[in-house]
Chains A and B, each alone.
Chain A
Amino acid sequence: MTGLVPQKEGELRGEDSQVRKSGPGAPSYSAVFAERPEGWNRPALIQPSGDGELLEVAMGPHHPSTHGVFRMDVALDGERVIRLKPVFGYLHRNHEKIAEGISYLGSMPYTDRLDYICPITNNWAYALAVEKLTGQDVPERAEYLRVILGELTRFQNHASSIGFLIQEMGASGTPLMYAFREREKILDLFEKLTGARMMVNYMRFGGCRVDASPAWLDATRKVVAGLPQFVDEFDQLLSSNEILMARTQGVGVLKADLAVNAGITGPMLRASGVNYDIRKVDGYGIYNRFNFRVPLGDHGDVYDRFMIRMLEMRESITILEQALKEIPKGPIMDPKAKIRGFRPKPGEAYGRIEAPKGELGFYLISDGGANPYRYRIRPPSLINLTVLEDMCLGHDVADVVLIFGSVDIVLGEVDR
């Protein structure tokens, strides 16, 4: 874009600018735009090599791999990917608009259905946003319960996402079933506590819905004591496997600067070597009390993403052990908290957490009514998916499935 010329009042600034400088509805801040090189929003085009025509393939929407309804329109030169266009929206359920029409509490069970692999963290992010809006405190014990359940969620998400990744590599079943066997133990814990394996609807604004009994905590301690053995076995089974290394190393490289510019978060960003974990950066909840490390990758390829998840599972176990040792007795709900019919003061709040897939944020605007005026989700899956084409260009079709699997998405969250 050439240098900006001073504009007349009320005129749009720049060619593709969305920000109105003045006039009705003008923002109170001034926006500064970076210089954008030609084609900044398009990945470098790979030229077809041979004389043949490009073959256009629609991968999906029914089953591009095992992730749900998602389509990739791929242009192929032989086996090589020349262009890739991700198409999503098949699972759109109008979640944000529904949430603007019902009470704050009523959206809580809907958040379970965003990223249905890890409902607890979705609950947590939403509860955090509303607590910021209303200025509620969360009792100590509820914070510990949140951390315990959140880390169990992270563990089972990473285990099953690795399982799916290996499944897409062609190892049909074995690693996935081992992961699911472990996941089932964790889901059993969820069911014992909350009444549902996946659609937990557990967190409330200012605490948690039900208290954990001593028997439940003992059962959790028992399960957590068995997790390191599972990670060791999983490590033995996969990490040094030559086929896995040949298939994943150097495939789907995501450079750190592109990852940062594209807003990638979570294990994907850390696999590219950027040290950014919201548990450390924000220290939301009580995360700054726990000792844990943030694993980082070197190359940003599929193998690094796989390995990061493996290491994060181990870190989750250390957090779980600390939390289960320290968990205090006490109430689990803020005594001032109201279950129904509360109206936050007009204002806005953005609550974000480090969900297993990346930064999950809820942005809420209250106009003082019983419903949110605006309800917006920042879904990590969707934003991590935006660099799919950059990672896939020049690779084979078989690798596309693998790279897509390594992003670790859930379509319920992508389409909302």
Chain B
Amino acid sequence: MLGEGILKGMAETAKNFVGSYFSAERMTTVQYPEERITPYEAARVFPFLVYDSRNTADPSDWEAGMRCVACQICEKECPPKCIYIDKSKDKKPDAIGKPQFYPSRFDIDISVCMSCQICVEVCPFEAIKMDTVYELSTDDRFGGLLLDREQLAKSNEYYHRIHPTEAAEVDDRLSEGRAKTDAKITAGAIAAAIRGAEVPATAKAATKPVADGAVEDDAARAAAAKKAAEPPTGAEN
């Protein structure tokens, strides 16, 4: 029958129209400015810089807790080249007390950024992460879209709020790294202590087979070696 296909199709639209009153599956529109969907955990928009609240007096002191050490890998790897970094002249202590450079300028031009996340992937210091803020329109086309250090810096707590799973993993990795560095420092101290203790022992062992005439000479040398080994041992103890 001619028109059968059209009628079948219209039955389908009727099903969808009536169904939209009963089933959420068929009514998917979200009235945007009034209603909002919460972004997924993996969602990414533009990058931001993570800082730890290291300054106990003022936890919002982003400059003290900045993780970025201005290694400029992200600047080099950024495909559209929208990151501008100036390395500092002086060094500041970082999370584990090691003196590090810091970015004296860190700008991201978000009118050029394409949210590809490559800066996040290549960062060895877990310093740059993706934000989920998406309402960023401004009336200043150039200055308003060039974000500087202060605008980019956001706390680790904020990072935990927007990407909880990822942030927990990052924290684990960082504390693991910190533990490793701590272990290295203590291991270094222990090694130095052992070295200090060993030097006279080896010296003594070396003296054993030597003839009597040389004993005094060797003992004096061992004493000198012990003296040389002592200061670091003492300092570390």
Contacts and interface: CB of A to CB of B under 8 A. Distances in A.
Interface of A: 102-103, 105-110, 113, 174, 178, 181, 184, 188, 191-196, 199, 201, 209-210, 226, 233, 236-245, 339-340
A109 B5 contact: no
Contacts of B28: 181, 184
Contacts of B8: 236-237, 240-241
Given A191-B40, A196-B115, 12 more contacts: A106-B78, A106-B118, A109-B116, A191-B43, A195-B44, A196-B43, A199-B114, A201-B117, A240-B5, A241-B8, A241-B9, A242-B2
Contact of A240 (B4, B78, B79): B4
B233 interface: no
Interface of B: 2-6, 8-9, 11-13, 15-16, 25-26, 28, 40-44, 73, 77-79, 114-118, 121-122, 130
A236 B9 contact: yes
Contacts, number: 83
B77 A174 contact: no
A240 B40 CA distance: 40
Contacts of A340: 73, 77, 122
Contacts of A210: 42
Contacts of A191: 40, 42-43
A195 B122 CA distance: 17
B77 A195 contact: no
Contacts of B42: 191-195, 210
Nearest to B4: A240
A199 B116 contact: yes
B44 A196 contact: yes
Nearest to A240: B5
Nearest to A189: B40
A391 B12 CA distance: 32
Contacts of B26: 181
Contacts of A245: 5
A244 B28 CA distance: 27
Contact of A195 (B6, B13, B130): B130
28 contacts: A106-B78, A108-B116, A109-B79, A109-B116, A109-B118, A110-B79, A191-B40, A191-B43, A192-B42, A195-B44, A195-B130, A196-B44, A199-B114, A199-B115, A226-B25, A233-B12, A236-B9, A236-B12, A237-B8, A237-B12, A237-B13, A240-B4, A241-B5, A241-B8, A241-B9, A244-B5, A339-B121, A340-B122
